[in-house]
A and B are shown apart, each in its own frame.
Chain A
Amino acid sequence: MIAGSQIEAPTAQDDGRWELLRALGSIALEIPPASDPACEALGLPAWERYEHTNVFVLDLPPHASVYLGGEGGIGGTIADAAGGVWRAMGLVPPDEPDHLGALLALYAHLGESTARCATRAAADRLGHFRRVLLWEHLWTWCPSYLAALGASSPERSPANAWAGLLGTALEREASLSEAPSVLPASLGEAPAPISVDPSLDELLDTLTATVRSGFIVTFTDLSAAAKQVGVGLRRGERRFALRSMLEQDPGGTLSWLAEHARLWESRHNAASSGSDGTQGPGGIINKWWAERAGRTAAVLEALAVTGRQR
């Protein structure tokens, strides 16, 4: 039979910790109504198909590569690095190893497998993999991702409820794991941030690559921005729509983008300190994101002034 094709059966000792994460991940992967049983078990509202497509295909693809990759697209070195965790364990990575559902399923698998290890060394090895998965491949982008999802979804929507619960679950995982003392590789070796005087193409490249700009801008965000600035929103990829907005009203569009960047800077800063004012989990990571968003905001603010003068 094919190794690795079976999902591990839940064990009594884990108190549902791993199944919870796997079930939350499955909601991003499964097309409704296949996700209904998981939603029901979790007490979450069921998704309509159009909602699922809108969130996970069109607006906020749940892939690490979209938020950590230099081009802001699916695949590439970020996805390959995620696949490396599978390979390091002797597993064949799935087609999209950086998909949130895949990452959570592997995380849950590692947690369950740790409980079955016969030796301490084996358990430590799996624990190490799980820690790498958490801090390198999940925590580096998930808090921002879930924040964006929460912000762009109606309060009682399935997406909002799912994002809230997953965020809580991940915070628990982060609180149980020793945070890294140095930046994860995907951030430490991230592409350069926005330059002081970018060309239009460079600007668009930066704005549509979260790891370069420090913030997430969705098509839904752009829709709101177009309304606010008073420009037409052309249908197409975000880069295309954004270019059109900048061509119609550079000053207004840049100002909105600068505000958006400041909003994200504050979100990152808030996340880097816990609710009680102490440093939150993974503070070093959130701090990095905050600095990047702040730098982008500063550049955009300067450009907006220039844009208005034109």
Chain B
Amino acid sequence: MPASDPKDSRSEKSGAAAPPADLASLGRRVSAARAATEARGEKFYQGASGTILAAFPPPERWDDWVELDSRAWPERVEHHSMLVPTTCFNCESACGLLAYVDRDTLRVRKFEGNPAHPGSRGKNCAKGPSTINQVTDPDRILYPLRRAGKRGEGKWERATWDEALDAIAARIRKAIVEGRHNEIMIHIGRPGEDGFTERVLASWGVDGHNSHTNVCSSGGRTGFQFWTGIDRPSPDHANAKVIFLISSHLETGHYFNPHAQRITEARARGAKVIVVDVRLSNTATHADYWISPRPGSEAAINLAIARHIITTGRANWDFIRQWYNWEEYLAACRPDGPQTFEAFRDALAELYHEFTFEYASAESGVDAAVLAEVAEVVAGAGTAFSCHSWRSAAAANLGGWQASRTLFFIATLLGAVATPGGTFPNAYNKFVPKPIHTPPHPHVWQELSWPVEYPLAQNELSFLLPHFLKDGRGRLDTYFSRVYNPVWTNPDGMSWMEVLTDPDKVGCYVALTPTWNESAYFADWVLPMGHASERHDTHSYEQYDGQWIGFRQPVLRAARERLGETVTDTRQVNPGEVWEENEFYIELSWRIDPDGTLGIRQYHESKAKPGTKLTVDEYYGWMFENSVPGLPEAAAAEGLTPLGYMRRYGAFEISAGLGARYSEEVPDQELTDVSVGPFGRVYTASPKPADSNIVPMGAPPADEAGRRAVGVTVDGTVRRGFPTPSGRLEFYSSTIAGWGWPEHAVPGYIKSHVHPDNLADGEMVLLSTFRLPTQIHTRSANSKWLDELSHTNPVWINPSDAARLGVSATGDLVRVSTHIGYFVAKAWITEGIRPGVVACSHHMGRWKLLGHDQVRSGGMMATVELARNGAEWDLRQRQQVKPYQSDDPDTMRIWWSDTGVHQNLTMPVHPDPISGMHCWHQAVRVTPAQPGDRHGDVTVDTAKAREVYKQWLAMTRPAGSFSPDGTRRPAWLMRPLKPAAETFSLSFNDPASTGS
């Protein structure tokens, strides 16, 4: 019996009467009418009924989407919008947005989620829709500005883009021509397109890329990179059985949306969530287990769990035997013992013997029975164990990178690597398309970013720049900050102000920024950059077992193009003269090298029309046509070009379900003239197959004959392995051992600088790394909705500490003294923080300088006065935020006045000697405020800051003394912009680089 006969379905009554003739004929008539309407290419169901089986406006209706004006109710007033996709710019998740562009006014009405985006799947956090605040902010920077008075004086004059470009290009050209390449630097805040700025700098021959990563995530990255050769994890939360988060960051605030929605799905399936966080974070409130350890003890907890897995026989021994570099470990560390896997198993048990639950309890202050219970849950996860550690412990402690290394140790013990519900190396789940031009590696080494003292640093030692400049290690002729605010974001901001106002150290400071910020006040040029809906970028981030690419675009440009207009410059559609970076850098590069004689211009020229300027349409058109597998076919199926497809949908999923790529067999055609190392590393003379995905990862060294590393032998089969020197998961890091740190060559526990052993009497720990899910680093001040949600950062104090310290009530002022100064803030007495620790969130304490009338206060910037007496600095709030008149009536509705305190100013630099990460936790003394103290007061002594810098510098083991091979840095380690191979030599070019 065919199933297509509806009368046969069991839901139908048999023998029912035939339908009335009029209904049948009406039904046929409606069907025919619909068919005829749709045959003409028109919509029969024009409104909501056409979308009733979808959760979002369907793409076929994105040209004219109709909504009712809620404020006109009960009148039915329609809004007709074009829906144009773009990508959020307010954190790194790169969630999809849909801009609702009013068809009548051609202005953006609002932003909502883009359902076609595979990562965010139509969902957004508060920061996404708040993009509209940034776009319509009455106080945003709209035109290029040139300093008119002294630096920091607050006097500006409007300039043209031509004036700015000519002046800046002339400086850069002169520096390059005179061989002063290292005097040019671009300092990145919010990342844009993967590799874009690096390629611009490479085209100039400059090693001047400086990122904020060493005040952000490099500690977390280090722990993962030394395991897999890839510096980020990609947890498959949605399919996990147990989710283990060492997190005050990723899943709680900042870029949490794609992860949080998948954790929610997992919880709905019954997955257990374990959160290790000193404070009660949003994520912790949803966890099955919230563990609040003593700060810095997280690695000890991880190792106790690891020991439990090992000693109770729950380790995935077959996986470990295949994929750990245990043979290398035994050869290096136990050469006299048996070189067998059984011996390694015994060694593991012996190595971690001391990490009992009782030991971890003593270190962490968490009950041993709780740790044992959690360990049992973890041990039961099998290969469905997903984990993440990003900021938090890894970003806060001396040796914090071991927090992520020991966390991934647990994952490897369970064999939960690139398994469903496990944790992947991010490169498996990320796609960075090869661009139209790839300039060569620069032939210079920037010692100001990659100093010889930190050969293993994960990223640039960006936060030490003021000290290096003060040391006289170099100077900067032209320094760009790009959507970044170094004075406010970094520790020791007063030292930043000292160098940014000293023309002998920084010749010209160019702030590329959408909004005013604490650094731009000291710039020579302030150049307006676009927000999420005003610029181009591509993005791809690890959010599930799949690869996608997202497209950020100027939505008004795309909207006008849909209407048949031609837009050749984003400034034609952006507010004022706001520009995007791509066009800016292409134009700047042309002006640096107008005739092409410096060899720069060629990388910014059209391929289709040589000798003419590259356009963004050609740049992305080429990329999407040639470097994104499957996109041309998907576009063709809809009658679109690949670029047209991305402008239309904003995202494309390239692949899903990639699985354990490390175990893929290496095909025979890649195995020519093979050599095999003593531990199974396989090298080949075959050239590397072309790959349009240039996702960053480690670059394992070649063998002595120059054959490239291609795989690793596992039980007689050559498999792809990991991009590490051994090709395996590096339980034992020959790199760490070889560069002077053999005691940390295996996952271990390093006692933090804020370990109780290292605190003086009366000192507490200040936790300052955490963020709120409703704020953006330094661009929140012009998001009125976000400002209203969160605008202050009280100091969290446990009731027992409050009683001990004499802080009687929430709202009382406290003075928090670091080793270089103090700040005054309001207390929040709460059980959400463990005793002995105080906490103060990021984001707040924004300020504008008294007399800087070009800056409006917004809802987040207090007006302050800065006073300097030699090395002693005082910042005092002179005016809190209050309602004010502007084009936006909401500025008269500001009901709050407290915008918190800028605590980072009082923090000295703490560079971890291995990862290079700034260790944010501070040893502080907390007292009730003293007479004369006012909320928001900050006092700092930068001479003391210099002393702390030197103390931490003395902890390093510089390459000059410890390099095993005469180079500055292991060449296989990742580096955002890699200079040419010869520059790695300690003897290259610069005698000062050998260090001491």
Contacts and interface: CB of A to CB of B under 8 A. Distances in A.
Contact of B23 (A4, A34, A126, A168): A168
A101 B52 CA distance: 8
A102 to B, nearest CB: 5
A124 interface: yes
A73 interface: no
Contacts of B78: 31
Interface string A101-117: 11001100101001111
Contact of A19 (B11, B27, B47, B75): B27
Interface in A1-37: 1-2, 4-7, 10, 13-20, 22-23, 25-26, 29-31, 34-35, 37
A20 B74 CA distance: 29
B49 A101 contact: yes
Contacts of A124: 9-11
B10 A127 contact: yes
B9 A123 contact: yes
Contacts of B27: 14-20
Interface stretch (B13-21, B523-531, B681-689): B13-21
Contact of A128 (B3, B11, B59, B66): B11
Contact of B30 (A23, A35, A94, A119): A23
Contact of B48 (A18, A29, A116, A126): A29
B1 to A, nearest CB: 7
A13 B68 CA distance: 37
Contact of B52 (A31, A40, A106): A106
Given A19-B27, A94-B54, A31 B68 contact: yes
Given A31-B76, A117-B4, A175 B16 contact: yes
B1 A15 contact: no
A23 B52 CA distance: 12
B59 A1 contact: yes
Nearest to A49: B76
Contact of B16 (A1, A38, A131, A176): A176
Given A5-B59, A41-B30, A178-B11, A22 B49 contact: yes
A4 B53 contact: yes
A93 B55 contact: yes
How many chain B residues sit at the interface, stated as a range, is 35 or more
A35 B9 CA distance: 32
Most buried by A among B11, B27, B28, B48: B11
B4 A6 contact: no
Most buried by B among A19, A29, A172: A19
A58 interface: yes
A283 B504 CA distance: 92
Given A5-B51, A106-B52, A123 B16 contact: no
B11 A177 contact: yes
A43 interface: yes
B30 A111 contact: no
Contacts of A122: 3
Contact of A111 (B6, B44, B49, B75): B6
B116 interface: yes
Interface stretch (B32-40, B294-302, B984-992): B32-40
Given A5-B59, A57-B74, A120-B1, A176 B13 contact: yes
A123 B263 CA distance: 34
Nearest to A3: B54
Interface in A173-201: 175-178
A172 B23 contact: yes
Given A15-B27, A130-B11, A58 B74 contact: yes
A151 interface: no
Contacts of A114: 3-4, 6, 9
A88 interface: no
A118 B1 CA distance: 11
Contacts of A14: 6, 27, 31
A114 B9 CA distance: 8
A25 B74 contact: no
A214 to B, nearest CB: 28
A119 B50 contact: no
B895 interface: no
A91 interface: yes
A153 interface: no
A91 B55 CA distance: 9
B26 interface: yes
Interface string A131-163: 100000000000000000000000000000000
A21 B37 CA distance: 18
A26 B10 contact: no
A30 B49 CA distance: 7
B646 to A, nearest CB: 14
A29 B53 contact: no
B282 interface: no
Contacts of B116: 1-2
A55 interface: no
Given A2-B116, A6-B58, A30-B49, A15 B11 contact: no
A34 B54 contact: no
B359 interface: no
Interface string B541-565: 0000000000000000000000000
A178 B47 contact: no
B893 interface: no
Contacts of B48: 29-30, 101
Given A127-B10, A175-B13, A5 B54 contact: yes
Contacts of B5: 115
A53 interface: yes
A14 B4 CA distance: 10
Contacts of A16: 24, 26-31
A42 B29 CA distance: 7
B87 to A, nearest CB: 18
B46 interface: yes
A165 B27 CA distance: 12
A169 interface: yes
A7 B55 CA distance: 13
A20 B23 contact: yes
Interface string B667-703: 0000000000000000000000000000000000000
Contact of B20 (A4, A26, A102, A168): A168
A224 interface: no
B238 to A, nearest CB: 15
Contact of A41 (B20, B34, B56): B34
A92 interface: yes
A107 to B, nearest CB: 11
Contacts of B319: none
B58 A5 contact: yes
A120 B5 CA distance: 10
A124 B1 CA distance: 13
B115 interface: yes
Given A2-B56, A19-B31, A176-B13, A123 B26 contact: no
A31 to B, nearest CB: 5
Nearest to B27: A16
A95 to B, nearest CB: 8
A123 B76 CA distance: 41
A130 B11 CA distance: 8
Contacts of A130: 11
Contacts of B30: 16, 19-20, 23, 38, 41-42
A43 B47 CA distance: 20
A15 B8 contact: no
A30 B46 contact: yes
Interface string A79-102: 000000000000111100000011
16 contacts: A2-B54, A5-B51, A14-B6, A15-B27, A17-B27, A19-B30, A20-B23, A29-B47, A31-B66, A34-B66, A37-B46, A42-B30, A114-B3, A114-B9, A128-B10, A165-B26
The 9 closest A-B pairs by CB, nearest first: A16-B27, A127-B11, A26-B49, A127-B9, A41-B33, A5-B58, A92-B55, A20-B27, A5-B54
Given A102-B52, A130-B11, 7 more contacts: A15-B28, A30-B45, A34-B66, A53-B75, A53-B76, A114-B6, A172-B19
